[in-house]
Amino acid sequence: MKQFEVPTFYRSPLLSKIKAQRKVADPRKKDFTPSELQIGDFTFLIARHFGFCYGVENAIERSYKALSENPGKRIFLLSQMIHNPAVNEDLTSNGIQFLQDTNGAQRIAFSELTPADVVLIPAFGTTLEIEQQLKDLGLDIQTYNTTCPFVEKVWNRSEKLGETAHTIVIHGKHDHEETRATFSHAVANGPALIVKDMQEAHFLGAYILGQKTTQELQDFFKGKMSDGFDPAKHLTKIGVVNQTTMLATETQAITDYLRSCYITLHGEDAIKNHMADTRDTLCYATNDNQSATLGLLEQEADFAVVVGGYNSSNTSHLVELLERKFPTYYIKDASEINGTSVQHFDYHHKEMQHTTDFIPSKEQVRVVLTSGASCPDSIVENVMYQLLQTRYTEAELNALLAELH
């Protein structure tokens, strides 16, 4: 796989060494058991896969290339490059400005742009409508288009589904940048509908099975279906694609459930006439990170720490998995830890919480540790050190770390 030029301050020498060792020992990525790292009284159970994925490293490399290749020019990002505050803050500190927020609200009017400006498309991609607006202004949007190739893979699959008269069902959050982009590309090729979770899939299935009316379906999915969507016509033949950061297991569960609805109606032999096989749209990095998190769930630990941006969809799903077994703390960086107290994000209610004495007073502490696909390893390393500093002085910690080399 390609090696990207990412600034060294995003790297962690310690975690890079662990990743390199695992890569040599498990080149086919079949072993999802975590790495164990003993430092003093702490045992860190580090996920087999975590941190920057291919799409994120590609986006960061192109962003810094845009900065180095365009001195003196105004450089804009359409919206957040990725959902990590440290990365976005670093880019803005280097002079990059955001045109929109993550909800698509305009921060700088497109009318203020000139053909001499540089505009970067983020890793999530963007809608066809916005692409056209920028092209009409004479802007080059391809040179620094950082759209993840796995997002584009979903778009390409949506196009093929449209060509075969399938309605495109998107498993995603309708207000997420990636889903807005995927929906735009999908409706250019055929009717489309966005389903957030299994609850919404069950509502859709109830319509397919004749248990809900057309009006009930249209009311329930208002704002989440293409213009002119006709359920009676457009739900006879479907294909499911996904927002690449959603739980892969949930995408598959939704697909399997909808498939069972069509089998109930038409029989197993006719299923290919009503539902496409779209397993090839799942992102390998999302699958690897989630499989590695399932590997963590097979371990015993006192608590789990998940590091990443609070608006990061893929990170929230890692939290969702881990909290099934462990007290789980979702933090953006080491600054959220103050002694044995921690400020952490409750993604269910979208609010911060404060927990005291979150580190047990026992002699040996086992900590599950992972991070989202947009989180730099250096931030994860700093979280480890912050936890260690609850028991060790700087001198003692340096001595313990020296023993690792």
Catalytic site positions? 178
Report the candidate in 361, 332, 287, 357 with the shortest Cα–Cα distance to residue 53: 287
* Partner residues linked to 304 by β-bridges: 328, 368
Report the candidate in 243, 249, 239 with the shortest Cα–Cα distance to residue 278: 239
CA gap 241, 169 in Å, rounded: 6
CA gap 79, 101 in Å, rounded: 6
Question: Which residues contact residue 263 at a Cβ distance below 8 angstroms, ignoring those fewer than 6 apart?
Answer: 271
Q: How many CB atoms lie within 10 A of CB 209?
A: 13
Residue 11 tokens, joined: 């790297």
Print the SS3 string covering 81-94: CCCCHHHHHHHHHC
CA gap 171, 252 in Å, rounded: 10
Residue 49 tokens, joined: 């896969």
Question: Which residues contact residue 257 at a Cβ distance below 8 angstroms, ignoring those fewer than 6 apart?
Answer: 198, 201, 202, 205
Report the candidate in 1, 5, 125, 3 with the shortest Cα–Cα distance to residue 65: 5
